[in-house]
């Protein structure tokens, strides 16, 4: 597989290059949020890279690096711009842009024709014929929508409005109306590809269809994980993810299951041992027997979706009753020769314009937040986030929000130099992560400049046999859980592991991996409580198979009391609760949260202080949307009355129909910018 990728043309193109600087273009950076997140993770972990910047709108990546490192840039880009094996289903999670491209071409033709007419003048008859031809694609799209959805969309009113203008001998006004409608569509689609919760629930289906595993035996083939049957044999090696429960038949593996439970321990699996879904194989090769089909895994069974809220009832009423009524009225008036009254009927759609303004409000905010590393999968989060009354945080997610510190303490007369035990532990991590970009424990070990090389490693339970570490310098060490009484959990922190290092019978010292509360996260909890949102941690054990259902039941219990619930989770055990919550929030700043965050409405990057800021933003945008509704409604009533009474010209009618949307958008931008101005992410605290 690696050979095929390296032999093919690279997925990027260098646009400009100077000594120590390169700017390149990659289409995937513009289309795939998952690839952008993966690229950020890889480039952040590169110690020699001086800086980088990702432009998600243009799909460009700018890099700064030492001149002598230019030869290694291609290998770094190959790693950063290719999703790791097991996550390819996340690449194309956004909808295709075919409709947006059609709108761009159509708007360009309308604007170009208006420009030619303004420069050289086009005969009215020719201009009318060209305008009629440009209306044909709109008519065909309208017929397709009516045939498939059995509803009359608001585009029918826009088409009728343009047709009446053309009938009156006003092709320029009709062209302007067509161009403005296309421009509104383009802005919405380019700002954000709106995906509903139902679309993201389909990720489980896409995983089953697109992710493959190699079967065992002489006739080995790559098979989708959704087609694996119980008792079927498969082969796994370093770098492979595990999505079905399976048991080792032959061979040995070292794997970590951070994606399932958040547990940091790497484990060695031998024949007879079982691997759970969510494990990532670090090293080794083995033949395994499937214990359960993918469709039967409880971790990937999502609860039924929530009932549709009443905010969609207005849109349904408009499509089923109001739009057909106005279209019929306008058509009858146009056929009877009352063109001005027909224009008034066709342009009177305040409900649709208010909804368009509200959607533009949310989509513009989502596009801006993407530049801050925050991915909004479902723009409805802006109306739901401000209403939540309780935020449930999974136990594993809270642990990731803590800081991990390493402290070394040498034993008396051990003869070790300061930092040597840390270097040994860094060598262990390096040996485990040879074929993976996943940081196993923390960045402190990643940044150790000279880890002591490990030749071989035997992993057993730390409380019993411990780890046997063979160093390349010939020493054999035993790493086990310390039995010192002071190694108990601390009052202001969580003791992850006190590790004791021994060489034979001689104790060399101890390394303490300690989680301390993140001051930023403590401040976030305080701010959320001041906003009237109760924060509660759910889940305890990382090994209990019923943990996923327990977290789901807690969400349902809160909703049964009438509370709006937000859920912050990051592991596979959180997936059912995330799917049930009113607002699903994920963490998305390393590979451990890559899968889970794709099922969330909102994915936070490295700065937790964005969460209360987004709650305030949600409430502010709702207030602005309510004000826009009043302004748009009054303007529509006044313009319709003036048009029907022949008080204004058709061109003024066109402008009055679109100016309120422009003013509403300006109010949206001002409301949003006032809450994001000066916001800077602070990754150093994570």
Whether residue 223 lies inside any domain: the answer is yes
What are the pLDDT digits (tens) for 381-434? 887 888 999 999 988 777 777 766 778 888 887 778 888 888 888 888 777 765
Place of tokens 């990532």: 280
Q: Following DSSP, what letter does each residue of 416-451 receive, concatenated?
A: PPTTHHHHHHHHHHHHHTTT----SS-HHHHT-SSP
Same domain, 232 and 257: yes
Whether residue 103 lies inside any domain: the answer is no
**C-alpha distances in angstroms, 405 versus 399, 439, 452, 479, 495?**
13, 15, 20, 18, 10
> Among residues of the chain, what percentage have pLDDT more than 90?
8
Phi, psi (rounded to 5 degrees) for 455: -90, -40
Whether residue 102 lies inside any domain: the answer is no
Same domain, 557 and 650: yes
> For the residues 233-246, what does the mean pLDDT come to?
86
The pLDDT value given to residue 263: 63
Sequence-separated (6 or more) residues with CB below 8 Å from residue 87: 34, 38, 241, 591, 594, 595
Same domain, 535 and 606: yes
Same domain, 387 and 445: no
Q: Residue 184's beta-bridge partner residues? A: none
> Which bin fits 121, alpha (ψ -120 to 50), beta or left (φ > 0)?
left
Distance of CA 413 to the CA centre of its chain: 52
Q: At what angle do helices 350-370 and 650-676 cross, to 10 degrees?
A: 40
Strand order in the sheet with 565-569: 375-376, 602-604, 583-587, 565-569, 390-394, 534-538
Whether residue 337 lies inside any domain: the answer is no
DSSP 3-state of 493:
coil
Looking at 454, 485, 516, which one is the last position of a domain?
A: 516
Longest dimension (CA), the chain: 105
Report which of 358, 253, 392, 406 is spatially closest to residue 628, judged by C-alpha positions: 358
Same domain, 594 and 506: no
The pLDDT value given to residue 408: 84
Report which of 625, 565, 95 is spatially closest to residue 362, judged by C-alpha positions: 625
Strand order in the sheet with 60-64: 13-18, 21-25, 60-64, 51-55
Same domain, 466 and 528: no
Task: Name the more confident of 677 and 422.
Answer: 422
To the nearest whole number, what is the mean pLDDT of the chain?
Answer: 74
Whether pLDDT at 315 is above 80: no
Whether residue 389 lies inside any domain: the answer is yes
**C-alpha distances in angstroms, 321 versus 141, 143, 302?**
20, 18, 35
Looking at 58, 82, 106, which one is the last position of a domain?
A: 82
- Which helix (H) or strand (E) covers residue 557, if one does? helix 547-560
> For the residues 170-193, what does the mean pLDDT come to?
62
Whether residue 151 lies inside any domain: the answer is no
Same domain, 642 and 566: yes
- Which helix (H) or strand (E) covers residue 643, if one does? helix 610-644
Looking at 473, 495, 516, which one is the last position of a domain?
A: 516
The pLDDT value given to residue 279: 81
Q: How far apart are CA 625 and CA 364, in angstroms?
A: 13
Whether residue 211 lies inside any domain: the answer is yes
| Domain at 209, CATH number | 2.70.150.10
Q: At what angle do helices 73-80 and 33-44 cross, to 10 degrees?
A: 140
DSSP 3-state of 508:
strand
> For the residues 192-198, what does the mean pLDDT come to?
47
Same domain, 414 and 470: yes
DSSP 3-state of 360:
helix
Q: At what angle do helices 519-530 and 610-644 cross, to 10 degrees?
A: 40
For residues 373, 379, 380, 385, the Cα torsion angle rounded to the nearest 10 degrees is: 20
Q: Based on the structure, what is the number of domains in the chain?
A: 4
Same domain, 441 and 571: no
What are the pLDDT digits (tens) for 46-91? 767 888 888 876 788 999 888 888 888 888 888 788 776 545 545 5
Place of tokens 């008519």: 139
| Domain at 484, CATH number | 3.40.1110.10
The pLDDT value given to residue 360: 65
What are the pLDDT digits (tens) for 345-355? 666 666 666 67
Same domain, 279 and 421: no
Report which of 674, 536, 679, 538 is spatially closest to residue 604, judged by C-alpha positions: 679
The secondary structure of the chain in percent helix, strand, coil, rounded to multiples of 5, reads 50, 20, 30
What are the pLDDT digits (tens) for 435-463? 444 445 555 566 677 888 888 888 777 77
> For the residues 511-527, what does the mean pLDDT come to?
80
The pLDDT value given to residue 494: 41
Taken as a whole, the chain contains a residue count of 686
What are the pLDDT digits (tens) for 116-139? 777 777 787 887 788 778 777 777
Whether pLDDT at 151 is above 80: no
- Which helix (H) or strand (E) covers residue 547, if one does? helix 547-560
Same domain, 522 and 535: yes
Q: How far apart are CA 54 and CA 62, in angstroms?
A: 7
DSSP 3-state of 253:
strand
- Could you tell me the pLDDT band of residue 365, with boundaries at 50, 70 and 90? confident
The pLDDT value given to residue 291: 92
The pLDDT value given to residue 413: 76
Q: How far apart are CA 234 and CA 252, in angstroms?
A: 14
**C-alpha distances in angstroms, 490 versus 465, 481, 493?**
25, 16, 5
Please report the beta strands in 341-475, taking only residues with DSSP state E, as ranges in sequence order: 375-376, 390-394, 403-410, 454-459, 467-471
The pLDDT value given to residue 530: 92
Whether residue 104 lies inside any domain: the answer is no
DSSP 3-state of 618:
helix
| Domain at 12, CATH number | 3.30.70
DSSP 3-state of 576:
helix
> For the residues 308-321, what does the mean pLDDT come to?
55
> For the residues 670-678, what does the mean pLDDT come to?
57
Q: Following DSSP, what letter does each residue of 38-75 receive, concatenated?
A: HHHHHHHT-TT--EEEEETTTTEEEEE--GGGGGGHHH
The pLDDT value given to residue 100: 55
Q: Which DSSP symbol is given to 241?
A: B
Q: How far apart are CA 382 and CA 311, in angstroms?
A: 13
Whether pLDDT at 5 is above 60: no
> For the residues 463-468, what does the mean pLDDT come to?
79
- Could you tell me the pLDDT band of residue 2, with boundaries at 50, 70 and 90? very low
- Which helix (H) or strand (E) covers residue 503, if one does? strand 494-503
Question: Residue 427 sits in which domain range?
Answer: 403-516
Task: Name the more confident of 315 and 649.
Answer: 649
| Domain at 533, CATH number | 3.40.50.1000
Same domain, 551 and 446: no
Q: How far apart are CA 174 and CA 438, in angstroms?
A: 57
């Amino acid at each position: 597989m690696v050979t095929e990728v390296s032999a093919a043309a690279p997925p990027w193109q260098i646009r400009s290059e100077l000594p120590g600087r390169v700017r390149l273009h990659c289409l995937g950076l513009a289309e795939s949020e998952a690839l952008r997140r993966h690229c950020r993770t890889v480039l952040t972990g590169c110690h020699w890279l001086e800086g980088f910047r990702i432009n998600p709108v243009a799909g460009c990546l700018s890099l700064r690096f030492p001149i002598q490192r230019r030869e290694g840039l291609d290998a770094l880009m190959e790693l950063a711009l290719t999703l790791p094996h097991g996550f390819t289903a996340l690449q194309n999670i956004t909808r295709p842009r075919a409709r947006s491209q059609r709108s761009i071409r159509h708007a360009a033709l309308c604007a170009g024709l208006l420009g030619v007419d303004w420069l050289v003048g086009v005969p009215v008859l020719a201009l009318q014929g060209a305008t009629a031809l440009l209306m044909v694609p709109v008519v065909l799209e309208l017929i397709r929508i009516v045939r498939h959805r059995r509803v009359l969309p608001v585009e029918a009113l826009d088409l009728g409005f343009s047709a009446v203008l053309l009938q009156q001998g006003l092709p320029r006004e009709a062209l302007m109306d067509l161009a403005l409608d296309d421009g509104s569509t383009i802005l919405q689609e380019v700002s954000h590809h709106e995906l509903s919760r139902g679309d993201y629930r389909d990720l489980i289906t896409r995983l089953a269809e697109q992710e493959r595993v190699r079967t065992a035996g002489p006739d080995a083939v790559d098979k989708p994980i959704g087609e694996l049957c119980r008792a079927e044999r498969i082969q796994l090696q370093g770098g492979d993810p595990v999505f079905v429960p399976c048991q080792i038949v032959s061979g040995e593996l070292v794997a970590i299951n951070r994606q399932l439970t958040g547990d940091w321990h790497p484990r060695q699996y031998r024949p007879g041992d079982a691997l759970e879904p969510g494990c990532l194989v670090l090293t080794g090769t083995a033949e395994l027997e499937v214990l359960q089909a993918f469709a039967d895994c409880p971790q990937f069974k999502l609860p039924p979706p929530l009932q549709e809220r009443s905010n969609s009832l207005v849109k349904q009423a408009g499509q089923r009753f109001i739009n057909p009524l106005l279209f019929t009225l306008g058509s009858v008036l146009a056929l009877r020769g009352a063109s001005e009254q027909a224009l008034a009927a066709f342009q009177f759609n305040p409900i649709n314009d208010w909804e368009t303004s509200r959607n533009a409000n949310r989509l513009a905010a989502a596009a801006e937040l993407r530049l801050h590393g925050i991915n909004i999968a479902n723009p409805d989060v802006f109306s739901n986030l401000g209403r939540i009354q309780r935020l449930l945080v999974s136990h594993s997610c809270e642990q990731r929000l803590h800081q991990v510190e390493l402290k070394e303490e040498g034993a008396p007369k051990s003869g070790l130099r300061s930092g040597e035990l840390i270097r040994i532990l860094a060598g262990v991590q390096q040996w485990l992560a040879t074929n993976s970009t996943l940081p196993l424990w923390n960045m402190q070990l990643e940044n150790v400049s000279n880890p002591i090389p490990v030749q071989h490693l035997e992993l057993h339970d730390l409380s019993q046999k411990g780890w046997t570490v063979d160093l390349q310098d010939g020493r054999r060490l035993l790493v086990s859980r310390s039995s010192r009484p002071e190694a108990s959990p601390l009052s202001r922190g969580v003791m992850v592991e006190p590790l004791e290092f021994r060489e034979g019978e001689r104790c060399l010292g101890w390394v303490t991996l300690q989680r301390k509360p993140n001051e930023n996260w403590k401040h976030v909890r305080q701010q959320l409580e001041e906003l009237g949102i109760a924060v509660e941690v759910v889940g305890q054990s990382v090994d209990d198979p019923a943990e996923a259902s327990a977290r789901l039941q807690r969400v349902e219990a809160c909703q049964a009391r009438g509370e709006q619930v937000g859920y912050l989770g990051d592991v596979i055990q959180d997936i059912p609760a995330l799917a049930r919550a009113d607002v699903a929030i994920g963490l998305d700043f390393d590979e451990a949260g890559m899968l889970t965050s794709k099922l969330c409405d909102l994915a936070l990057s490295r700065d937790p202080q964005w969460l209360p800021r987004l709650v305030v933003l949600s409430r502010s945008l709702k207030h602005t949307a309510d004000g826009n509704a009043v302004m748009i409604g009054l303007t529509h009533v006044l313009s319709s009355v003036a048009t029907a009474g022949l008080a204004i010209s058709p061109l003024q009618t066109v402008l009055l129909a679109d100016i309120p949307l422009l003013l509403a958008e300006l109010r949206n931008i001002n409301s949003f910018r006032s809450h994001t101005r000066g916001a800077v992410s602070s990754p150093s605290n994570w």
